[in-house]
Amino acid sequence: MMITSCLLSSLLLASVPQFAGAWSGQPKQSSPPRNTALSKDVATRRSFLAGLATASTLATVATSFPSPASADDEELIDCYFGCGCFWHVQHEFVEAERKILGRSDDQITSRAGYAGGKAGALDGKVCYHNAGNVADYGKLGHAEVVSMRIPSSKFYDFAVEYCKLFDKDGFRPDQFGDRGTEYRNLVGIPGGKSSALAELLVKASVDTGDKLDFAVGKGDDRDVPKVSFIMDTSEYPSFVGEQYHQFHDGFAFGENYPNSYNSLASAFAKKGEDFGKCPNGSLGIGLGGL
């Protein structure tokens, strides 16, 4: 098992189908040449969009969903986003729920969890690394994700927040620390690549600097820098993580969130939310991954 910055912090604290072509104009002159082996697996943006919609469709897709008077009245979708260690990512999406949807603490739906593996759950469980080696998420092919339930009309806004997690070169915050399939980039949406939401995801990427490529996730996918795998949530659902991973401080120095944030996990548990029956971490303690 690779010791990465997210896992190390825990210990210290207690055949993808080929798409062809690029989506958004000619390759930037400053961009390094693509790895030819990688190009067999990864879709570039032009062909991905060509398979989904014309440019004129993209110009209007953000307004194609109904806009009821209140977000409470419209369809809610279950989706998830993965981008390395889920601690920091969860915090960013909690803030997005507050900012975009005006949700209060007790309305927050963002949860740290696991998704993207072919094996699904083992005996109803998907667990973090643990001393008993019970339903280990990495061995089941899953990656760390943050799931949420949001209005379909706001998916574009959340996709923008996701794309903003990557730096100007398309690398995630922990790209050179947390590496391996457990930390790969992925987005789960109803319908996967065939959904209009996939078009919105692509548009969000283009609108935030055109930093990412996308591929159709087939389960157990590789960790490929600058690439995010699009998963169909009906085939690759998310599994909620353990309580001790919820609303956790970030992996990087300085990402110490307020107690009001950290305490949300126990608040939801007291209200009856089920965070599963997995063993309590690597040493059975259930604190910071231990």
| 238-270 pLDDT tens trace | 999 999 999 999 988 888 999 999 999 999 999
Tell me the mean pLDDT in the region 118-134. 96
Which residue in 168, 163, 152, 167 sits closest to 81, CA to CA?
A: 163
pLDDT for position 129:
95
- In this predicted model, which residue has the larger pLDDT, 31 or 219? 219
Between CA 155 and CA 168 the distance in angstroms is 22
Averaged pLDDT for residues 210-222: 97
Query: Which tokens sit at 73?
Result: 């009245």
Q: Which two tokens stand for residue 277?
A: 């029956």
User: In this prediction, what percent of the chain has a pLDDT beyond 70?
Assistant: 70
Between CA 137 and CA 135 the distance in angstroms is 6
What angle, 0 to 180 degrees and rounded to 10, lies between the N-to-C axes of helices 155-163 and 86-101? Answer: 140
- pTM here is 0.78
